[in-house]
Amino acid sequence: MEQVIANGLYLGAQYALIALGLTLIFGLMNVLNFAHGQMYVLGGFITYTVYGQLGLPFPIAVLCSGLTLAIIGGFMERYLFRTVIRRSHREESTMLLAAATAFFFDAVMLLIFGEKQRGVPKIVKGVFNDYGIILPYDRIVVGAVAAAMILSFIAFMKYTKTGRAMRALAQDRVAAQLMGVEVDRYTMIGFAMGAMLAGVVGGLLVSITGVNSGIGGPISVKAFMMIMIGGAGVAGGAIAGGFILGMMESVGLTVLREYGDVTYLVIFAALMVFLSIRPNGLMGKPWG
Amino acid sequence: MPTLSRRALIGAASALALFAGAHAASAADANLKIGFVGVTSGPAAAWGTSNVRSMQTLAEWYNELGGVKIGDKTYTIEIVTFDDQKDPKRAVEGMEKMAQEGIHYVVGPNVDDGAAAVRPVAEKNGIIYFPYAFPKELYTAPASNAVLGMIANYQSGPAIYKYLMDNKGVKKVAFVAANESDPLSQRDSGVAAAKALGLEVVADKDTYQNDTRDFTPVLTPIVALKPDLLVLSGVAPANAPLLIRAARELGYEGLISTETAQDAKVLEEGAGELANGFISVGGASTPEIASDHMKEFVARYTKKFGEYNDESNTKVYVLDYILETMKANPKAIDNVDEFKKTIDTFEAPNPYLKDPDAKLKYVGSTSFGQKRQVAVPMVVNEYKDGKFETLFVGTVD
């Protein structure tokens, strides 16, 4: 059971970090970014290229992933989403745009990086094996970095001027504007931060799970599940959703293994019941 | 009367010469379209992409040599591709597109449900297709238009388990498969084969979502059962290194095998030395058996696409089978009934193997009651330090 809990916590930290960027963008702009998984994949490929192919240090590679995605995210907000939001009166236009960018990223990455699964050398060798828990050291490092990033993100949103401005925007866009918050500027920063988080987590996890050009869609679906559990647009909800999903997967795959692949069936059924009771998730209001 | 300038005259003469040249070329060379319907995008893109790229490499090579002579005509080979996105509905659309273009020979689809879905379209429109899918009903009478393009797991699995029982002392075996039709059917036939050989099957229900990125939770309970052999049934090349790595990091020390083709580079990057000893089914590229022709194919593929894919070791064959069968009976070029007649007696040298006695021929009588399978050598490989080494070579009849 110790191993099952350790697996769940590790998965949860991964998932929470993936979901944070998605929920940030949703909270600020009410946009469901279907390309979030593709941004994660692009971050993974950048780290693969910089660390795995060019041989530069892993932290620099992850930094490159984060910076590149932040720039791409900024441009996407400025020239795509802002334009569509201004010109279209229908909310689903942004969803269509997000879906289109997801397909675009998929096609471009397949063209550039090919169809193969890619991986990089382990960042730390060896396996921790004690107290009934087996956990490779590289997972411990990645899990710790993920936890540190989650805490830093919460602190940033809570204590910095930029974070407070973004929280104000998420709570009430018009009121924030009337109070002098520069809506366009902070929306762009928020979108760039969301994309950056996707890039960083993609870069971090390429050292554990590798990356291939076709996994963006499934990653997005899992991220949506997490924010539905926790409550869309709420940072604490994304974190809670990530850990709950990670733990449900880990426990389900052990306890239900005798019955075949019913773990996700049970998770989806539980999610449907849960959403019918709490349609806004666990913490269904922006930024608590 | 207006006079033509010298420049206009030269221009008209050039245009005429170009037109005449083009006309002459088209009279000398007819076009022969061969189709592909399979998956070239999404998580399983590697399966179809290695098919398409093998076909494109060969077509370019043959066209460069002046085309392929079938009967008294020489043909330029054109590959027409359709990405079915691993969706049976799209596969049907793809096969319909091939029919509209007048194509009679199609490679693919890559998965069971796609191959089953296109059957009515292929039979109605006179198309012979070469799926990379294993359901026996596709190849057993009354079905007659599908020809299996590779070795099925129910053919290679028993051979691998027997070898490992005899040579590595394997007694206990565990199976794990993705929760999709192909891997699940491969797992079931693998379990049956293992039981028939007298092996103790300690896990036969464990599955995972095909988009799983972290397999530690999936493998934790299986590794605890301490099997001698862990079979990754129908594993996608993208998942194989992740499964191997997770099993080894959890302390699993037994053997790991699969009956699908894998790529050495993917294993090296994804699992490194942890993948040493991994057993899979390959084709013809190991140095022990590959001919110079095969080596040139690999070199051309690498030059054209930047990187070779070892899955093409099995997928290189089908285009040659189609063309060589047409050479044996030129009427088959637009008449699949003639193709079917030729299947039973067809034989040609296998250019990809060193062995001068190796032949291209259709097999499948034992498994399907009729010859509806291409004879790809059943090369069982062991991965070691970035390369495959041949463990043994088997045959299918």
pLDDT of residue B187: 93
| A205·B213 Cβ contact <8 A | yes
Is the pLDDT score of B15 beyond 90? no
Q: Which one is predicted more confidently, A57 or A146?
A: A57
How many distinct structural domains can be found in chain B? 2
Does B8 fall in a domain? no
Give which of A117, A220, A258, A263 to mutate to test B binding, by max B Cβ within 10 Å: A117
How close A243 comes to chain B (CA, Å)? 14
pLDDT of residue A279: 86
How close B51 comes to chain A (CA, Å)? 12
Which band of pLDDT confidence, cut at 50, 70 and 90, is reported for residue A253? confident
Sheet architecture: strand order including B128-130: B68-70, B73-83, B29-38, B105-107, B128-130
Q: In chain A, which among 138-197 make CB contacts under 8 A with chain B? A: none
What average pLDDT score do residues A139-166 get? 90
Do residues B106 and B34 both lie within one domain?
yes
pLDDT of residue B12: 52
What's the one-letter identity of residue A178? L
Helix then strand then coil, in percent of chain B rounded to 5, is 45, 20, 35
Q: Using one digit for the tens of pLDDT, what is the confidence trace for A74-99? A: 999 999 999 998 888 887 888 899 99
Do residues B120 and B39 both lie within one domain?
yes
> Which of B217, B237, B239 lies nearest to residue A11, judging by beta carbons?
B217
- Residues B259 and A110 sit within 8 Å (Cβ to Cβ): no
Q: A69-95 as b/e, with b when 16 or more CB fall inside 10 Å?
A: bbebbbebbeebbbebbeeeeeeeebe
Number of CB pairs < 8 Å for A and B?
A: 116
Do residues B166 and B136 both lie within one domain?
no
Do residues B33 and B145 both lie within one domain?
yes
- CA-to-CA distance for B80 and B35, rounded, in angstroms? 5
- A7 touching B (Cβ < 8 Å): yes
Do residues B255 and B370 both lie within one domain?
no
**Average of per-residue pLDDT values in chain B:** 89
Q: Using one digit for the tens of pLDDT, what is the confidence trace for A171-217? A: 888 898 898 888 889 989 999 999 999 999 999 999 999 999 888 99
How close B199 comes to chain A (CA, Å)? 20
- Nearest 5°: the CA angle A202, A203, A207 is 105
Percentage of chain B modeled with pLDDT above 70: 92
Which band of pLDDT confidence, cut at 50, 70 and 90, is reported for residue B327? very high
Final residue of a domain: which of B244, B260, B276? B260
Do residues B231 and B256 both lie within one domain?
yes
Percentage of chain A modeled with pLDDT above 90: 40
Helix (H) or strand (E) holding B349: strand B348-349
Q: What is the CATH number of the domain that holds A31?
A: 1.10.3470
Q: In chain B, which among 193-212 make CB contacts under 8 A with chain A? A: 205-209, 211
Is the pLDDT score of A52 beyond 70? yes
Q: Write out chain A residues lying below 8 Å of B269, CB-based.
A: 52, 117-120, 210
Does A282 fall in a domain? no
How close B125 comes to chain A (CA, Å)? 32
How many distinct structural domains can be found in chain A? 1
- A107 touching B (Cβ < 8 Å): yes
Candidate from A120-124, B8-12, B121-125, B376-380 with smallest mean pLDDT: B8-12
Does B220 fall in a domain? yes
Q: Which one is predicted more confidently, A225 or A63?
A: A63
Burial class (CB in 10 A: 0-12, 13-18, 19+), B287: exposed
How close B185 comes to chain A (CA, Å)? 14
Q: B346-383 as b/e, with b when 16 or more CB fall inside 10 Å?
A: beeebbbbeeeebebbbbbeebbebbbbbbbbbbbbbb
| B214·A209 Cβ contact <8 A | yes
Does B187 fall in a domain? yes
- CA-to-CA distance for A197 and B44, rounded, in angstroms? 27
Is the pLDDT score of B26 beyond 60? no
Does A284 fall in a domain? no
What average pLDDT score do residues B265-292 get? 87
| A121·B221 Cβ contact <8 A | no
Does A285 fall in a domain? no
How close A36 comes to chain B (CA, Å)? 16
Q: What is the CATH number of the domain that holds B355?
A: 3.40.50.2300
- CA-to-CA distance for A250 and A268, rounded, in angstroms? 15
Q: Using one digit for the tens of pLDDT, what is the confidence trace for B132-164? A: 998 999 999 999 999 999 989 888 889 999 999
- B31 touching A (Cβ < 8 Å): no
| A115·B49 Cβ contact <8 A | yes
What range defines the domain where residue A66 resides?
2-277
Does B210 fall in a domain? yes
Final residue of a domain: which of B260, B279, B300? B260
| B238·A117 Cβ contact <8 A | yes
Kindly give the residue spans of alpha helices, DSSP state H, lying in chain A.
2-29, 36-47, 58-75, 82-87, 92-113, 137-159, 161-171, 173-178, 183-209, 216-230, 235-255, 263-277
Does B345 fall in a domain? yes
Do residues B135 and B157 both lie within one domain?
no
Do residues B55 and B139 both lie within one domain?
yes
Place of tokens 């010859």: B371
What average pLDDT score do residues A44-66 get? 96
Is the pLDDT score of B16 beyond 80? no
Does A287 fall in a domain? no
User: According to the per-residue pLDDT averaged within each range, which of A55-64, A260-269, B43-52 is highest?
Assistant: A55-64
Which band of pLDDT confidence, cut at 50, 70 and 90, is reported for residue A126? confident
What range defines the domain where residue B185 resides?
153-260
- CA-to-CA distance for A265 and A258, rounded, in angstroms? 14
Do residues B166 and B231 both lie within one domain?
yes
Does B10 fall in a domain? no
How close A137 comes to chain B (CA, Å)? 10
pLDDT of residue A201: 93
- B241 touching A (Cβ < 8 Å): yes
- A126 touching B (Cβ < 8 Å): no
> Which of A8, A116, A205 lies nearest to residue B266, judging by beta carbons?
A116
Q: Using one digit for the tens of pLDDT, what is the confidence trace for B67-79? A: 999 999 999 999 9
List, in sequence order, every residue forming a beta bridge with A130; answer none if it has no partner: A133
Which band of pLDDT confidence, cut at 50, 70 and 90, is reported for residue B285? low
Q: Write out chain B residues lying below 8 Å of A134, CB-based.
A: 249-251
Is the pLDDT score of A63 beyond 90? yes
Do residues B307 and B372 both lie within one domain?
yes
- A249 touching B (Cβ < 8 Å): yes
What average pLDDT score do residues B110-127 get? 95
| B238·A214 Cβ contact <8 A | yes
- List own/partner pairs for B79-83 with CB under 8 A and 24 or more apart: B79/B33, B79/B34, B79/B35, B79/B36, B79/B52, B79/B55, B80/B33, B80/B34, B80/B35, B80/B36, B81/B35, B81/B36, B81/B40, B81/B52, B82/B35, B82/B36, B82/B37, B82/B38, B83/B38, B83/B39, B83/B40, B83/B41, B83/B48
Does B22 fall in a domain? no
| A117·B206 Cβ contact <8 A | no
Q: Which one is predicted more confidently, A38 or B313?
A: A38
What average pLDDT score do residues A138-158 get? 89
